[in-house]
Structure 1
Amino acid sequence: MLDAHPRVAFISDIHGNIDALDAVLADIREHGVQAVVCLGDIVGYGGAPAECVRKIGDLCPIVVMGNHEAMTVFDDIVYLEEMPSSIRRPIELARTSLTDDELSWLRELPLVSKIGCFTAVHSSLHHPGEFPYVFRTEDARRNFKAQTTPVSFHGHSHVPIIWEEKGPVVKAHKPALANVRLSQEHRYTINVGSVGQPRDGDPRASYVIYERESRDVTFRRIPYDIESARRRIFSTRISGRNADRLSIGE
């Protein structure tokens, strides 16, 4: 079980990018991390949704639902015909690529999972079923009001960042590629970035390793075969825009 592992990797926003996922999982293994939590959006945008869902389903003891899973399995979430093709076509691909059992598994994913001293969510703990973004200080404040653990981890924006709550003060910290030790006296919500479609100008895959006892957080950036991921997108006739943005981290 997850409680037996002192080090946990958090991955999010894979978005059908099996090339990026495989590179991240290899890096996780190299660092001796045996527990992996997935923060949602396994599908969407990329060309290999079924492969990613199967790998995550086999590997991760904790997976929460992202908005792209919700769009895939719940028809009343959004009218797909009103969505841009960059979103609509990958969702249609996921619906036709996944088995009935895999679609049922996605449908049963929780929106929030609390594991000991931390909480996992795709977006914000404030109305998680509406999938709000945590972009501004006020967004982080709303999340902290709903947060019952010292630390929470999320994705959704595809941009890695640490939000810290110290009494009435909430501030953001841009993560560096080094250990960040979280204070025992403050609370945090941490965006782990995106495995499959980073949007911070760095095209390398992003994920986080969390040391539960020391509360050390390490942001990892992993290069992967972007051209292979682009070819998969083009082969499925998904919007070329989805392929182009991988090269520039947008």
Structure 2
Amino acid sequence: MRYLLLADIHGNWPAMEAVLQTTPKYDRVIFLGDAVGYYPDADRVLSWLRSEGAIGVMGNHDAWLLHLDDIDPEEQKGPIFEILRWQSERLSLENRAYLGSLPWTREVDGALLVHGSACDPLQYVDDLDTARAHFGCTSARWTLHGHTHLAGTFLALEGPNGQWVRYQRQVHGTELFLAPKARALVNPGSVGQPRDRMPGAAYAVWDSDDGSVQFFRVEFDLERILGRILQEGFPVWLYERLLVGR
């Protein structure tokens, strides 16, 4: 089975559309959290995920949007929560229900899906120590996650002197084949807002049959997303981040 891996779309429909125009053939969509936040077209992103029957998990921005009324108003100051409230007011009932149905974790074809880590779905896994802790919290051979907006893979292997963990940054065109006794924590990167200093929408395709992951990065229409940002009165720094991928 070939799965299209998508994470951290964050309402950036032009980026998502560019992915769909370039992605190789796939059978199902796996969504690793954060459909909403940052960019204006969260409702459109959710409509597409729902129409695809995407196998998804909850992200932190998704959870914040759904529970805005439960968050201390003092903690909601600033543009991030202003954007989430704006998006919340514009979500269709069907898309809100779909978002609310997403679990924090789930398993698909033997892989663990989570936004952050197996230890904590809201934890950023961005160093070897955190990755090592993650592998201690799950026995899954494959873990597919997002949250850091960094395309890369942590690999773990049990050796005579304990667990060995290393990190591989992934760029467009790289492919990972998992060794028989290794385990992997795979981040396809962010569709909507990359933070690895490589502009463009990041995604991956996981083949559960041959144990491989292909990584991709595709350009999208930056002027189009700038137009949407200006049209809806969103902060221009959201566009500026996309120019440099950070």
Distance apart, 1:209 and its partner CA? 0.7
Equivalent in 15, 20, 23 of residue 15 of structure 2:
20
Aligned residue in 1 for 2:206? 210
Residue identity opposite 1:170 in structure 2: V
Unaligned runs of at least 5 residues, structure 1: 1-5
Q: Does 1:35 align with 2:59?
A: no
Distance 2:97 2:63 in 1: 11
Distance in 2, matches of 1:59 and 1:171, equals 34
Aligned CA distance change for structure 1 residues 70 and 80 (closer, same or farther; 3 Å): farther
Cα RMSD (Å): 1.5
User: Which amino acid counterpart does residue 32 of structure 2 have in structure 1?
Assistant: L
Partner deviation per Cα, 1:34-61 (whole Å, 9 max, x = no partner): 2111111001000111111111111143
Residues 11 and 39 in structure 1, CA contact (< 8 A), matched pair in contact too? yes
Q: CA deviation at 1:83?
A: 4.1
What is the total number of aligned residue pairs between the two structures? Answer: 241
What's the counterpart of residue 155 of structure 2? 164
| CA–CA separation in structure 1 for the residues paired with 2:225 and 2:25 | 26
Q: 1:194 aligns with which of 165, 190, 195?
A: 190
- Find the counterpart in structure 2 of residue 3 from structure 1: none
Distance 1:49 1:81 in 2: 24
What does 1:1-250 align with in structure 2 at a 5 Å threshold? Answer: 6-28=1-23, 31-75=24-68, 78-79=71-72, 81-83=74-76, 85-128=78-121, 131-167=122-158, 168-176=163-171, 177-250=173-246
Identity level (%): 29
Quick one: distance in 1 between partners of 2:70 and 2:179? 39
Tell me, yes or no, if the aligned pair for 2:109 and 2:208 is still in contact at 8 Å. no
Range 71-80 or range 166-175, more displaced: 71-80
CA distance in 1, matches of 2:86, 2:139: 37
18 and 80 in structure 1: CA distance in 2 versus 1, 3 angstrom threshold: farther
| 1:104 to partner: Cα distance | 2.4
- The answer to whether the 8 A contact 1:89-1:238 is kept is no
Deviation at 1:89, TM superposition (A): 2.2
TM-score, structure 1 as length reference: 0.91
Calculate the TM-score normalised by the size of structure 2.
0.93
Whether the 8 Å contact between 1:19 and 1:228 is mirrored in structure 2 is yes
Structure 2 gaps of 5+ residues are none
State the 1:154 CA deviation.
0.5
Contact 2:153 2:167 in 1 (8 A): yes
